Structures are given as structure tokens and as C-alpha cells.
Amino acid sequence: MNGTKKRVLLGMSGGVDSSVAGYLLREQGYDVVGVTMKVWPQDCISRAEDKCCGPQAIADARGVAHSLGIPHYVVDEADQFERVVIDYFSSEYQAGRTPNPCVMCNEKLKFGSLWEKARALDCDYIATGHYAIIEQRPERAILRKGRDPRKDQSYFLFSLRQSQLRHALTPLGAMAKPEIRQIARSLGLKVADKVDSQEICFVPGNDYKAFLRGHLGETEFHRGGIYDLSGNFLAEHEGIEMFTIGQRKGLPGGSPRPRYVVDIDPASNRVFVGDAEDLLVEEFEIDRINWSSRSHSEEPLAVMVKIRNSHPGAAATLIPLANDRALIRLVESQKAVTPGQAAVCYDGDVVIAGGWICRHAAVAAA
């Protein structure tokens, strides 16, 4: 790198990905500063030892930074995390939606409030260990899928604005996980074989229902009835917070075929169940759309849309509407299109736009 070294603030979770990202950035000539966010609220500490928000993560990140010869800081974002991520997580379930806290954390914290720390440390960029490619072009930044399809995390970055993408680095985007671990082993990093977390970092045991009970308290749950799509009452439930679209477990029996949650009505606290085919959706709306790698379009666009991170993608037409909304018209109906989740639209491997899925199912007038 010619001239003065560019300084980059690297978010270090204590895992192998962000650790190797630090090494790669250093080798590319960047002046790297490691930062780990302390994000666990007080009621989470004892249960978060193995999480990216736990004390062990800070110790691992500090050890890696020492090995790489880069400075390391800890920033306390617990209050912000509680307000921006955990409260959002809880309130979405209370509204009958299924939240996506990782998207919110990336937008509001990792590439949001962390900028204050970056500026204070005279950093030009923020870097993370995400498996996505951010290509800097003269006219705008382009967000692309990571090269390893099993690890691609572009879905979780769809809501980043151009001002954020312009100052973001993701050095692992063109690499596969085995390469990352091999580099870590060659460097002698203790985190080389550290297991990836597959869970939401603040939800112990991935039991979000238990977490909500502890965080909200029993009195905050919205109790009501479970109905079929003809409006027939089937059973009481302990709260719409306990349900998500496509769910099978925890539903009343007595049906010759499996029942699934097909709609949640937060206005009446009713949960509607139906057959598998009742989960199929031909079109749906998204709101708070973010045009990621292109300017706003007034015309319909042919896209591939992912309705959840694990979804393989489906052919669709993106039809822009007023007030930052859009209609997604699917070529083939998709199952369990879930309000509150993100729908991210791609042109090949480029993230075109994305937004939040609105409630769409027709409910019975019970």
C-alpha cells in the first residue's frame, strides 16, 4: 500500500474468522486496531461464557491481537445493545413478527455506533470477519455474496447504506472456511479450531422462548386463542410470542394431518393454523427497503429473492411501491414467508435491495 497506511478498526469477536481477518489486513498493509464490543447485559453474563458476547470472547480476542502485534480495545456497548438489539428482538415477537437480530446488530452497532470509536481512533475503515464481498467502485460500493456459498453472509448486511459500505472491509469474502482455519493454524492461533456459534449470541441454548420469559416477564405475553382458517377455536395459547410462521411444535393435536402456524394476528392475539399448502405464498410486500448496490428503481426488476438466510433463493419480480415499500411477486410460490424476517433481492451474486417482510396472510373472520 503506497503512502500513509490506512487505519482500520477491526471488530474482533474472539473467533477464528475475525482473527484471520486481522492477519490478512495487516499483510495487506493496513494499520489495524482491534476492538471487541462488550455487549452482554448483566442478566446474561453467567450464561454467556461461550458466546461472542461473553467474557471468554474478550480474552480470546485480546490473545489474538497480542499474537498479531496489533492494539486491542474493549468498548462497552451493553446499553446500546440492550436498546437496539434485545428490545427490538422482544418487541418484534410481541408484534407477531419473527425478528432478525443479526441484521440489526450489523446495521446499528458493528457498522453504526462503532463508527464513533473508529473516528476517535483515526480509522478510515471498519472491518469484520463476514463472508461477503464489498467491491468499491467509483460511483458506489457493491455488496456481493461471499465466494463460499455455505458461509455467505451478504444477507445479514443488506441494510447497510452506501455511507457504511463505502467505509467497510470484509477481507474473508473471497475465501472458504477451510482456508481460514489453515491460516489460523499456520499462525499458531489458539482459536484456529474454535467451534462456530450457530446460535443467537444472547439467547442461551438457542431457547428464545425461555429468553423472552426471562427478559419480558410472564405478564407481558399476549395470550389468546388458536384457530383454524375457518375461524374455529381450537385451544388457548400462552402468548403470540411463542409462535412463528411455519411452526409445527406446540400446536393442539386432533388433526389427521400435521398443522402449521400460517398466520399470527397481533391485533386480536389469534394464532391461525392450517395445512402445509396453506403456508404457500405467491406474493408479499416488504417495507423499509434499502437499495444496496444500485440506485432506487421505479421499474419492476427480475431478481432472485432470499426470504431467510438459509433459503436457496427464488425467482421473483421486485415491484417498487411508494413509501419505501415494494411488492415481491414470486415465479413459484414459497413456503413460510415470515413477517419480520428480511427479504433480500439479488442479481446474480450482487445484493440489489432488501426490506422487511410485512404481514401478508388472509385471516378468517372468527
Residues of the chain with CATH 3.40.50.620: 7-205
Hey, what amino acid is at 268? S
Structure confidence at residue 44 as a pLDDT band (50, 70, 90):
low
Residues of the chain with CATH 2.40.30.10: 280-357
Q: Is the pTM above the cut of 0.75?
A: yes
How confident is the model over 283-310, as pLDDT tens digits?
A: 999 999 999 998 999 999 999 999 999 9
Structure confidence at residue 255 as a pLDDT band (50, 70, 90):
confident
How confident is the model over 69-98, as pLDDT tens digits?
A: 999 999 999 999 999 999 999 999 999 999
Buried b (16+ CB within 10 A) or exposed e, 324-351: ebbebebeeebebbbbbbbbbbbeebbb
Hey, what amino acid is at 218? E
Instruction: Write down how long the chain is.
Output: 366
Count of CB atoms situated within 10 Å of the CB of 178: 9
How far is it, in rounded angstroms, from Cα 87 to Cα 81? 9
Please compute the mean of the pLDDT values over residues 43-61 and round it to a whole number: 65
Residues of the chain with CATH 2.30.30.280: 218-277
Q: Based on C-alpha coordinates, what's the Rg of the chain? A: 22
Q: Which residues are catalytic?
A: 105, 201
How confident is the model over 133-175, as pLDDT tens digits?
A: 999 999 999 999 999 999 999 999 999 999 999 999 999 999 9
Second-level CATH architecture of 280-357? Beta Barrel (2.40)
- Look up the CATH number of domain 218-277: 2.30.30.280
CATH number assigned to the domain with residue range 7-205, chosen from the 4 options 3.30.499.10, 3.40.50.300, 3.40.50.620, 3.90.110.10: 3.40.50.620
Q: What is the mean pLDDT of the chain?
A: 92
Contacts of 87 (CB under 8 A, 6+ apart): none
Q: What is the DSSP letter of 14?
A: S
Contacts of 133 (CB under 8 A, 6+ apart): 143, 144, 145, 146, 147, 154, 170, 173, 174, 349
* Residue 90 cell numbers, joined: 422482544
Structure confidence at residue 45 as a pLDDT band (50, 70, 90):
very low
